[in-house]
A and B are shown apart, each in its own frame.
Chain A
Amino acid sequence: MLYKANNHHLDLVAEVINKKYQIFSHHKNGSVFKYQRNQSPKNISWHSQKSILPFKKIIFPEGLNLDKDNQKVALTGLALCDIAALNLFLKQFSESGIIQKREELLIVGGDCSPDENCFCDQFNLDPLLDFDLFISKRENEYLVYSKSWRGENIIKKIGLKKSLVSFNLKAKAKSPKIDLELTKKNIDNRELTKDYWQKISNNCFGCGACTAVCPLCFCFDQNFLNSPDGGCKRCLNWTSCFASDFSQIQFGHDLRPENTDRLYNWYHHKFVRGPKELKSPLCVGCGRCITACPAHLNIKNIISSMNNKFPVDN
């Protein structure tokens, strides 16, 4: 349902949310935005900004302690791409019991201002995305779109008026969309694209910066953290499939010894294994990896030039 709201209404919304959830939103920190906790329900920025690290640092923090209890969390100001990624993230971990369940989360979307690296328009971000509220600014008012009973309950408490304006969530494609089937086929055919990946990996540091910022990179290691007082805690540490020890088995034998193997594996996971496991590519076009890459690699260009190079059915 679509509702009309003004600034005062949104403050009330924040107060209602704050009673049940810890609120997170984008905060400006020097020249960058960080996704951080709001200590009070005041001054929440409903607008989406591209933070360096996405929501995953909140629900799946680095060094996740396996004994902790999950907190109820409201993630506000999420752009469409982040909502899509969050949906997949929850699907991946739904049964593990280590991150918040859907009912422990409140997902609040917000308008975004795309930068030069954004390419979510290239994907068919599912219009059936799962979120609770979406807050969109119009000239002198806000539109509040609620998509779940959780969202409806919040709006009921404040008593907002319905709006009849037309409302469209999806971004319009600026350039031809990525042909996901062709991408999948090309990547799956490693023999064919071998030289292509070798060329890309010659220009890649294998540093793992892209995997750190990707909202859909969730590889982890299990470690025992030996604390100096003699105890030990089991925790999950973020890792990167570019790390030199990622595929090592006993006696130091490495199953992906070269950077080209690791780079290939990353793309393969994003566009072949991801669709097999979660029914969607593990890329939503947020462009964070493009901003983060010290080697100036661009996933969008890499995929599109691969498809240009190997255009037809092979």
Chain B
Amino acid sequence: MDDKTKNKFEFKNYKIIEKNEVAPETVVFKIQGHIKRDPGQFFQVSMPHLGEATFAPCSDIGDTKHFELCIRCAGSTTNQMIKLLPGDEMQIRGPYGNSWPIGKMIGKNVVVVAGGMGIVPLRPLIFELARYRKEFKNIYIIAGFKTPEHVLFEKDFLSWNSIFKYVKVTVEKSGSKWWGETGLITEILEKPKLSPNDTIVAMCGPDIMFKYATQTLLNKEIPKTNIYVSMERRMECGIGLCQHCNIGKFLVCKDGPIFSWQKIEPELGK
């Protein structure tokens, strides 16, 4: 514990310098400052008078001057958060939780699977994969969204297309100007041939996607120990005290949010 802070619940203020609406009711804030972190870790953000919410920063961890938070409104706290403007301050504490197993990915194929807002904690990972491209074998990036309107970080996907071998963005309901695929994410996941033993999967999305996507991957004989998922649960404290976020015997904030499927599957539904 830092000597200056009285307890682990203390926040620091950071200034918002840019705000972009990237999808319906979804905003990306660019925030001045630097919090040393690893891809996949998360912050607790506080809105005075309202409450706290948990967010994973979505920007490149190599940027030491700014970071970005992607926020979709889903409750009274986030509804007010997206009303903040450049110049306003945000109260943030963190980072908490573990990170994507980048060390384990070296020398292997990497598959990144993102469903909807699930791209948020994966984006810093993809930036790392791009930066150290030579350290990995083939990299597959598969992302699914509801409609073309909901696609987050469209520009990034277009630029990643030139770096990685396989970048597919799919929507459930396609529109007239849509450049990507149409269909469920699991259908796209069926397509690429993956070698079972040297492939690591990093996945984030709704629980229901895990269920079907892991089945697809297991059919391809990728071992459960090589499938990593980032879980979402209700969090209050973020530091392993409040007991809200447990999945079976694991606490998402302390033991997670990233688990291997081997570890977390038996605990689901407990």
Contacts and interface: CB of A to CB of B under 8 A. Distances in A.
Does chain A bind chain B? yes
Interface stretch (B16-24, B43-51, B220-228): B43-51
A98 B7 CA distance: 6
Given A222-B236, A222-B242, A250-B75, A268 B249 contact: yes
The 5 closest A-B pairs by CB, nearest first: A97-B7, A250-B74, A219-B243, A273-B249, A232-B49
Nearest to B47: A224
A269 interface: yes
Contact of A190 (B8, B242, B269): B269
A3 interface: no
B241 A93 contact: yes
A264 interface: yes
Interface size for chain A: under 10, 10 to 19, 20 to 34, or 35 or more residues? 35 or more
A175 B248 CA distance: 31
Contacts of A247: 233-234, 244
Given A66-B7, A218-B241, A272-B249, A226 B49 contact: yes
Interface size for chain B: under 10, 10 to 19, 20 to 34, or 35 or more residues? 20 to 34
A250 B46 CA distance: 16
Interface in A193-251: 218-224, 226, 232, 234, 241, 246-251
A251 B74 contact: yes
A248 B234 contact: yes
Given A97-B9, A234-B9, 16 more contacts: A66-B7, A95-B1, A97-B6, A98-B7, A188-B249, A218-B241, A221-B244, A222-B9, A222-B236, A222-B242, A224-B48, A232-B49, A265-B270, A269-B243, A277-B240, A277-B251
B232 interface: yes
A67 B9 CA distance: 10
Contacts of B233: 247, 249, 255
Contacts of B270: 188, 190, 264-265, 268
B240 to A, nearest CB: 8
Interface string B232-256: 1110110111111010110100000
B198 interface: no
A66 B9 contact: yes
A204 B244 CA distance: 21
A278 to B, nearest CB: 11
Interface of B: 1, 5-9, 46, 48-52, 74-75, 78, 232-234, 236-237, 239-244, 246, 248-249, 251, 269-270
The binding surface of chain A is classed by DSSP as: mixed
Contacts of A223: 51
9 contacts: A97-B8, A188-B270, A190-B270, A221-B236, A223-B51, A247-B234, A247-B244, A249-B232, A249-B233
Residue of A221, A222, A273 with most chain B CB atoms under a 10 A cut-off? A222
B51 A96 contact: no
A93 B240 CA distance: 10
Interface in A84-99: 92-93, 95-98
A190 B248 CA distance: 10
Contacts of A250: 74-75, 78
Contacts of A222: 9, 51-52, 236-237, 242
B9 A98 contact: yes
A268 B248 CA distance: 8
Nearest to B44: A222
A100 to B, nearest CB: 12
Interface string A129-148: 00000000000000000000
Contacts of A221: 236, 242, 244
Contact of B48 (A67, A232, A248, A251): A232
Contacts of B75: 250
A232 B239 CA distance: 23
B234 A220 contact: no
A96 B234 contact: no
A85 to B, nearest CB: 16
A279 interface: no
A190 to B, nearest CB: 5
B51 to A, nearest CB: 6
A172 interface: no
A156 interface: no
Contacts of A219: 242-244
A265 B246 contact: yes
Contacts of B9: 66, 96-98, 222, 234
Contacts of A226: 49
A276 interface: yes
A260 B122 CA distance: 35
A255 B48 CA distance: 27
B217 to A, nearest CB: 23
A268 to B, nearest CB: 6
A218 B244 CA distance: 11
